[in-house]
Amino acid sequence: MKRKSKQNGVIPSVDLRALAEYVEQFSSKTIVVLGDFVADVFEFGEISRVSREAPVLILRHRETQLVPGGGANAVNNLADLGARVLPVSVVGDDANGTALVNYFRQKKLDTSHILRVKSWCTPTKTRFLAGWAHTVGQQVLRVDREPQTQLPDEAVKKLSQFLFGAIKNADALAISDYGFGVATPALAFEASSKRKTPLPISLDARHNLHAYSRSRVTTATPNEAELESQHHTSIGENLEELARTGHATFSAMKLNSLLVTRGRHGMALFESGKRLTHIPVHGSDQSVDVTGAGDTVLATFTLAIACGASPLEAAHLANIAGSIVVMKRGTATVTRAELLAAIHDEVAGVSA
């Protein structure tokens, strides 16, 4: 069954009903996430006046929200998609670390593989949103708090034990590397090399994708900017440069598939045999907020592959999930029900 796009013609053929069947299987799969957990804090306030001390706005604080970010957002997406999730990570012995662990406990997730380290600072991104009464707040400032030290050797050793124990009976491993030292190529290689049978391993890495070349990663989901950074180039509208860099990364990392997210340009899927499929953006190309959309793509793609979907089918599911989440404000997730509803709407639209 083919789906059509007004701007891009016929999208590569996929069976939409088969996609729905994969989503129905999500709850039967166990996914391990090795990731850098981030606390995403949103400070909401109303614009009161301009300060007399400096030409800056004064915000009257209204509300503070803390939600899982980074690798923790990938965990949150997998949970809301219905999977059984085993997060493997590190948080600090601080308030935000406690908040993240409690968040997942309230969702009935197994938090026994989340290590608390006293000398560690939980990475935190604090966004300040300002607006007038009855208007949508706009982000005016972001403050990041990052760990100033490396993880102690003892913590890394414990993390390795956690990871190997978790993947023994897992259907897939998702790696979310935000560069804070929890998810690393060395840890991924050590754990995967100990497992006796092959395991689908998906990767979303902010920096130096190719460092994972020996880690038995089977698929990677970088955005276009990350691919550009890896190859020290600019892609933009240049599809030849996209093809060159994508094929180079696919080959260097010995992947089964490479899914490059391209914002309003959709996605590009690289597979063996130099095959490249361009997938137009699903729905509107006018996103509300792209915060954490890459985590949604990683979660959906990984889960679909674990259910037996082909890379093309998994990419289409990730494309649909991504289109849903970018229409939500802040760090958000997609639920299994939302994904199924979107697929059923597509089936109805094609049949009409």
Polymer length of the chain: 352
- The active-site residue, picked from 204, 285, 295, 345, is 295
List the beta bridge partners of residue 269: 259, 277
3-state SS, 59-97, equals EEEEEEEEEEEEHHHHHHHHHHCCCEEEEEEEEECCHHH
- Tell me the C-alpha distance between 179 and 37, whole Å: 10
Whether the Cβ atoms of residue 328 and residue 288 lie closer than 8 Å to each other: yes
- Tell me the C-alpha distance between 287 and 325, whole Å: 9
The torsion angles phi and psi of 83, rounded to 5 degrees, stand at -75, 160
177 carries an active-site annotation:
no
Alpha carbon of 321 to those of 19, 76, 205, 283: distances in Å?
A: 12, 14, 20, 11
Task: Please name the residues in contact with 257: beta carbons below 8 A apart, sequence gap of 6 or more.
Answer: 218, 219, 250, 269, 270, 271, 311, 314, 315
- Tell me the C-alpha distance between 31 and 191, whole Å: 15
The total of other beta-carbon atoms located within 10 Å of residue 188's CB is 24
Whether the Cβ atoms of residue 204 and residue 221 lie closer than 8 Å to each other: yes
What one-letter code names the amino acid at 291?
T
> Hey, CA dihedral for 20, 26, 31, 36, is it positive or negative?
positive
E-strand ranges in the chain read 4-5, 9-10, 30-35, 37-50, 57-70, 84-92, 114-117, 124-131, 138-145, 172-177, 201-205, 219-220, 257-261, 267-271, 275-279
| Active-site residue set | 295
